[in-house]
Structure 1
């Protein structure tokens, strides 16, 4: 059945769009996810990915492209969470939980009120096989913008991720790079709606980067590895999802999780195999 995918890929334009879109998102999510992992911002990625849903609904209501509304609400959510963190006694995880659950609930209500052919299930869990040419081009453009920005500000993002106190002491505006990362996170979350949906995008952002983190000690190596893993699991997930007629977005996430689970015991940082061997040696003695 899998062989049919490669045959159909040559014949069906929608499948070609799905391939380019899913692999592109997998790569850029892996790159950006490396910074998210280092900053301990996994929950923030989850919050923003949920917060774009009401933006999609509002876009349908006022007749603009869904991406514009989604970006606006995603950035607004990031600013709201940061403001609550900095100006209240509420802890960050509490602020994130309140914000993303509220935005998600609001989005579900608004989508239900909007008279549109767009399926809520496809927004939440993605439908990469329905990607149009314009969606694919927009995804590639936004992904390239994110990658170029990361390349241009790599040193600043590196320093503010590892040691924000030192970066501030050297005159860097740490808040600016924090918000820059939030904007890029919002952009990636928005373009990922088509492939894995707003619910599952956090997995694509975190899992490839977490897998790479277990094996490398340098950020640039981690970025390359996470991008390769993200692109590969997106491709494999698309092939399996199409071949066996199961949701592609969910299949991509499961593939990423499988790679993480299989890699975990072999991670040099975990030393699980070495510990097991050492325990067996001590028992033998």
Structure 2
């Protein structure tokens, strides 16, 4: 028991680890909650687009001496607007518009990084620097996370109805376009929250994997909203501790543990798992035979 207590407490004796734990908890809960709607609507690729498109905004914010979140939010909204503009004013389909916009903006960010004299390593924005989160960064994550989470909880019924049946939502007086635009705006803000934890490249994993895992474990959306944040929190803390003791990349380890959780749900979920369905199929075939 003493050894387990020391295992849990030792990292928390250092202030940077306390900030890392707090950032991981906030990012995990907020991303996982939003991921339930992203998975349900089918916006996984949109999450990828927005998370990559914020990179030039972060670099430009650094050049201007402004908070990273300001540039990231501006470019996140700009990416959403550009995707909609290209899709609605040309023959380009949505997936192609997303691919063009996010790869172009991500490439712009990489170019800006390559030509920007910097006293800090801007590559941390790409790959994450969870152990380097400052007090100001944590405060920023906490404010944005609280804002996104509050809106998601307050409007959860409207968002859920929009996800299941936008036509019915319109019929009862809701505006599907406004709801969709609100979700996309929250997606841009959430990408900024997760960026502090795992970097631009891996943000999409936190935005999709928890919801996809919960989707395999339950058929009720209300339960998804509980399972996804709980799983993401456990996976986030597990990844953080493993990275500390194994001396590995922190953000990548957090994402890897989330991926392992999805794999376990994919294989062993009582209702949707591959192995239980295989056993059931064989039992049915044997009974008929």
Cα distance, 1:77 vs structure 2 = 0.2
Q: Distance in 2 between matches of 1:41 and 1:2?
A: 40
Match of 2:267 in 1: 265
Query: Superposed, which structure 2 residues align to 1:38-187 within 5 Å?
Result: 38-187=40-189
**CA-based RMSD:** 1.8
Cα distance, 1:156 vs structure 2 = 1.1
Secondary structure of 2:195 counterpart? coil
Match of 2:27 in 1: 25
Q: 2:127·2:198 contact (CA, 8 Å) conserved in 1?
A: yes
Deviations 1:92-133 (A, max 9, x none): 110011011001100001112222223233111111000011
Distance 1:283 1:220, change over 3 A: closer
Deviations 1:145-182 (A, max 9, x none): 11110122112111111101111222221111111111
Q: 2:59·2:122 contact (CA, 8 Å) conserved in 1?
A: no
Cα distance, 1:56 vs structure 2 = 0.8
**Paired residue for 1:274, among 256, 274, 277?**
277
Cα distance, 1:144 vs structure 2 = 1.0
Query: TM-score, with normalisation over the residues of structure 1?
Result: 0.94
Q: Distance in 2 between matches of 1:100 and 1:4?
A: 44
Consecutive unaligned residues in structure 2, runs of 5 or more: none
Q: Distance in 2 between matches of 1:269 and 1:87?
A: 40
Q: 1:5·1:242 contact (CA, 8 Å) conserved in 2?
A: no
Consecutive unaligned residues in structure 1, runs of 5 or more: none
Q: Distance in 1 between matches of 2:277 and 2:113?
A: 52
Q: Distance in 2 between matches of 1:254 and 1:49?
A: 18
Secondary structure of 1:171 counterpart? coil
Distance 1:154 1:2, change over 3 A: same
Q: Distance in 1 between matches of 2:283 and 2:175?
A: 52
Q: Give the number of equivalent residue pairs.
A: 285
Q: 1:54·1:107 contact (CA, 8 Å) conserved in 2?
A: yes
**Paired residue for 2:222, among 213, 220, 223?**
220
Q: Distance in 1 between matches of 2:171 and 2:236?
A: 40
Q: 2:194·2:206 contact (CA, 8 Å) conserved in 1?
A: no
Q: 1:2·1:243 contact (CA, 8 Å) conserved in 2?
A: no
Cα distance, 1:87 vs structure 2 = 2.5
Cα distance, 1:272 vs structure 2 = 3.9
**Paired residue for 1:34, among 33, 36, 56?**
36
Secondary structure of 2:197 counterpart? coil
Q: 2:32·2:211 contact (CA, 8 Å) conserved in 1?
A: yes
